[in-house]
A and B are shown apart, each in its own frame.
Chain A
Amino acid sequence: MNTSHYPSAYVVEQQETHTLSVIVDNEPGVLARVVGLFSGRGYNIESLTVSETEHEAHVSRITIVTTGTPMVIEQIKNQLDRLVPVHRVVDLTVSAKVLARELALIKVKGKGEARVEALRLADAFRARIVDANTESFVFELTGRGDKIDEFVNLMRPLGLVEYSRTGVAAISRGPDAM
């Protein structure tokens, strides 16, 4: 309801998905700060991956996949950058040269034709078998998120029991560090 005689300045902005790399000092509570920022300000986290990447320097890399309007994405980056233990924030999506991978472990149970079909698809997706017995397999699959989604959906009718995935690890292409 616009009761003013001015046209509405609200343009419905498209939601975008961005992959952010956040380099942080690996001090106690740093992940809580990052996650608390997202929950406290109502931002989305689609995927979150954390690991220490420079052990000597106690530096960790947090990879966050988030969605929001361009204004919200800019806010998220600025808010993250404002946290004291954050070294820097890089939006890998902006460079458009982002490499993003996930790893998934997928347990499939079945006999007969379904079992053979599952094996055939796993081969086509270049999934590795990391556990096998006469009743079930555990596949290890690496790839982009949509590839994993696709594989998991194919496994559903073939006896998917459960699966676990790591969330996104991402890096930029080319010789340069971010």
Chain B
Amino acid sequence: MSRQMTGAEMVIQALKDQGVEVLFGYPGGSVLPIYDEIFKQNQIRHVLVRHEQGAVHAAEGYARSTGKVGAVLVTSGPGATNAVTGLADAMMDSIPVVCISGQVPTHLIGNDAFQECDTVGVTRPCTKHNWLVKKIEDLPRVLHEAFHVAKSGRPGPVVVDIPKDIQFALGAYVGPKNIQHKTYRPKVKGDMDAIRHAVNMMGKAHRPVFYTGGGVVNSGPAASKLLRELVKLTGFPITSTLMGLGAYPANDEMFLGMLGMHGTLEANMAMHDADLLVCVGARFDDRITGRIDAFAPHAKKIHIDIDPSSINKIIKVDCPIVGDVGHVLEDMLRVWKSVQPTIDKPALDAWWGKIAGWRAKKCLSYRASDKLIKPQYAIERLYEATRGHDTYITTEVGQHQMWAAQFFRFDEPNRWMTSGGLGTMGYGIPAAVGVQMAHPDSLVVDIAGEASVMMTMQEISTAVQYRLPIKIFILNNHYMGMVRQWQELLHGGRYSESYSEALPDFVKLADAFGGVGIRCEKPGDLDGAIAEMISVKRPVIFDCIVDPAENCFPMIPSGKAHNEMLFGEAVGDIGSIIDEKGKMLV
């Protein structure tokens, strides 16, 4: 059964056995034996990134758009430390990534050898688990365990650190079958009593709201279908976190839009006035809750989460259900259908009436202009132009990200790749590379800001090399917009170091990289330019010059409650609204 092979061969064999098709990596001294094995085979495609951070983000984009595990290969020392930001990002957003790193030979570990670093030590807090493999006998088991840990339970990144002598050592390879972990067995089925209790609470609710998150997306497309069914069945309104967008169709009338700091009025007010929150795969992040002591003050709370440590971490809930969203929703639907709770229809109608009132305020309105391109307008036009295409969106981090979340309407899960938890500027381009590798014929757009793209723009070179026609749609306002917005609101308009000085000419830059550059400065030219961008089957940098003064609203200032939102018109007196305590929370 078991075959003799070297450690390096085992790595490639294990990747194949785990169904890996694409590997994002960068070679170096301590992974050369593995690269030699990559050279000898054709099954796994290796994508040579330009920086290891890009490799992890690309793997994240690949993972999030496919539901599979993303695979990364980096060398020791700087290879591993460069990957840390990506790993921390995947950790915060629960993205399954297996990162294999080379290490100096075992006899040199601890000697400050060339390109040595304590990789397991450095990555311990930003991975779900990690391993340093010091014996060839352990290697096959650890490799398969790594995939199991990365994808099961609450997904996350893992690191397998393999010293170079282990890559050369001979041993017996064992396949992935019959590997059951000694200690790690996440619970996927929810407790039925808790589910019945939850259904009972839902049946009695007068002002309920579903608050859903990335857990629905992570649970797989079936969970999204079940969620849609449950929402239809109950008639409850639904809002979503940044991470959960697409799990429920944004164009459906039951959907209130995103909630939280830059969420819609209707979503945040519904959260604030609700008497029941049904939290499905979300984690009460501080961007969602605002002021903890004023968060959903009248609501009973049901919380479905696969990670017990997410429950009662920030907000105490009344009905915790530990389990995989898909499994729990399935059981919940079954119980709901058999119990057939008698919903107080007039109360629910009155609740929808209240929501209609908030909706009527049209909180996302902005002042249109025929001289300057408003960033919101640019995203609206991009959205319209991409309808009918098989579209995937990645983003960087900042104002453009929030505008994308507000104005780009996702109807399906796995279409929206954004750095939510860690907030990593520079995520979008490499993530788009990963998405396009998985979906070569789809339209992949990175909605970006000009400051963020400067952080990882070397990956445009990767896109060109692999003929990946990603579109980098830059909302160029010549500022780190979100930083500038906070400085305007909190620091007396002192724009300390937030101006994007000495920007490159993005059109020439695209040309220099071997892509296509398009610039658009007038609202009237926008539709034509976007159409051109979509029609070009090469990597595109789209330099969309937008109104530099535009701020992202609505907004719950730090330290404020859901019912203390600011809107576009309130810009003038916003400074006095955030108190000293709020400044600390930024």
Distance of A147 Cα from B181 Cα, bound (Å): 42
Stretch in B57-65, B237-245, B289-297, B447-455 touching the partner: B289-297
The answer, yes or no, to whether A177 is at the interface (CB within 8 Å) is no
Contacts A25-B182, A32-B121 known; A9 to B294 CB distance under 8 Å?
Answer: yes
Tell whether, in the assembled complex, residue A9 and residue B579 are in contact, meaning their CB atoms are under 8 Å apart.
Answer: no
Residues of B within 8 A of A85 (CB): 129, 183
Q: Which stretch in A76-84, A123-131, A161-169 binds the other chain?
A: A76-84
Of B305-313, B353-361, B493-501, the one touching chain A:
B305-313
Whether A6 lies near B308 (C-beta < 8 A) is no
**A87 touching B292 by the CB < 8 A rule?**
no
| CB of B405, distance to nearest CB on chain A (Å) | 27
B316 interface residue (CB < 8 Å to A):
yes
A33 within 8 A of B: yes
Known: A8-B293, A25-B183. A75 touches B313 (CB 8 A): yes
The distance in angstroms between the C-alpha atoms of A24 and B311, with both chains bound, is 23
- Complex: A169 Cα to B149 Cα, angstroms: 31
Q: Is B293's CB under 8 angstroms from A29's CB?
A: no
Residue of B nearest to A79 (CB): B309
Contacts of A81 in B (CB 8 A): 308-309
List residues of chain B with CB within 8 A of the CB of A40. Answer: 125
Q: Is B389 an interface residue (CB 8 A)?
A: no
A9/B292 in contact, CB under 8 A: yes
- In the complex, which residues of chain B have a beta carbon less than 8 angstroms from the beta carbon of A87? 182-183
Q: Is the CB of B128 within 8 A of A74?
A: no
Tier of interface size on chain B: 20 to 34
The B534-565 residues at the A interface (CB cut-off 8 A) are 561, 564
**Which residues on A sit within 8 Å (CB–CB) of B132?**
28-29
Query: By the criterion CB–CB under 8 Å, are A84 and B128 in contact?
Result: yes
- Say if the beta carbon of B124 comes within 8 Å of chain A: yes
B581 contacts chain A at the CB level, 8 A cutoff = yes
Q: A1-23: which have CB < 8 Å to B?
A: 1-4, 6, 8-10
Contact B293 A9 (CB under 8 A): yes
- Residue contact A75 to B309, C-beta cutoff 8 Å: yes
Chain B residue at smallest Cβ distance from A11: B293
**Contact B308–A33 (Cβ < 8 Å):** no
Q: Is the CB of B124 within 8 A of A29?
A: yes
Residue of A nearest to B181 (CB): A84
- Supply 12 further A-B pairs (C-beta < 8 A) apart from A9-B294, A78-B309: A3-B579, A4-B293, A29-B121, A74-B312, A75-B309, A75-B312, A78-B313, A82-B307, A82-B309, A84-B129, A85-B129, A85-B183
Binding site for B on A (CB under 8 A): 1-4, 6, 8-10, 24-25, 28-29, 32-33, 36, 40, 71, 74-75, 78-79, 81-87
Would you give 27 A-B contacts (Cβ < 8 Å), ordered by A?
A: A1-B581, A2-B293, A4-B291, A4-B293, A4-B561, A6-B293, A6-B294, A6-B297, A9-B292, A25-B182, A25-B183, A29-B121, A29-B124, A32-B124, A33-B124, A71-B312, A71-B316, A75-B309, A78-B313, A81-B308, A82-B307, A82-B308, A83-B129, A84-B181, A85-B183, A87-B182, A87-B183
